[in-house]
Structure 1
Amino acid sequence: MAKLFYRYAAMNSGKSTQLLQIANNYETLNKRVLLYTARIDDRYGVGMITSRLNIRREAQTFDDTLDFYAQQFENIDCILIDEAQFLTPAQVRQLHRLVHLRHIPVICFGLRSDFLGEPFPGAAWLLSLAEDIEEIKTICVCGRKATMHLRVDGRGERLKDGPQVEIGDDARYRAVCAKCFYAGEDKPE
Structure 2
Amino acid sequence: MAQLYFYYSAMNAGKSTSLLQSSYNYQERGMNTFVLTAAIDDRAGYGKVASRIGIECDAYAFTVQDDLSQIIEKQHQQTAQHCILIDEAQFLTKEQVKQLTYVVDCLEIPVLCYGIKTDFQGELFPGSQYLLAWADKLIELKTICHCGRKANMVLRLDSNGQPVKEGKQVEIGGNDSYESVCRKHFRPYFWD
What TM-score, normalized to structure 2? 0.95
Q: How does 1:16-35 map to 2 (within 5 A)?
A: 16-35=16-35
Secondary structure of the residue that 1:7 maps to in structure 2?
strand
CA RMSD of aligned residues (A): 1.1
CA–CA separation in structure 1 for the residues paired with 2:90 and 2:120: 13
Secondary structure of the residue that 1:163 maps to in structure 2?
coil
Secondary structure of the residue that 1:171 maps to in structure 2?
coil
Query: Is 1:14 paired with 2:19?
Result: no
Deviations 1:87-128 (A, max 9, x none): 000000000111000100000000000000010000000000
Secondary structure of the residue that 2:43 maps to in structure 1?
coil
Instruction: Specify the alignment match of 1:166 in structure 2.
Output: 171
Deviation at 1:45, TM superposition (A): 0.7
What residue identity is the alignment partner of 1:52? R
Secondary structure of the residue that 2:27 maps to in structure 1?
helix
- Structure 2 residue runs of 5 or longer lacking an equivalent are none
Instruction: Specify the alignment match of 1:141 in structure 2.
Output: 146
Instruction: Specify the alignment match of 1:175 in structure 2.
Output: 180
Deviation at 1:183, TM superposition (A): 2.5
CA–CA separation in structure 1 for the residues paired with 2:169 and 2:175: 16
Answer yes or no: is the 8 Å Cα contact 2:9–2:117 preserved in 1.
yes
Deviations 1:64-84 (A, max 9, x none): 011012221230100000000
Moved over 4 A (4+): none
What residue identity is the alignment partner of 2:32? R
CA–CA separation in structure 2 for the residues paired with 1:61 and 1:42: 9
Query: Is 1:4 paired with 2:9?
Result: no
Percent identical pairs in the alignment equals 47
Instruction: Specify the alignment match of 1:102 in structure 2.
Output: 107
CA–CA separation in structure 1 for the residues paired with 2:32 and 2:66: 21
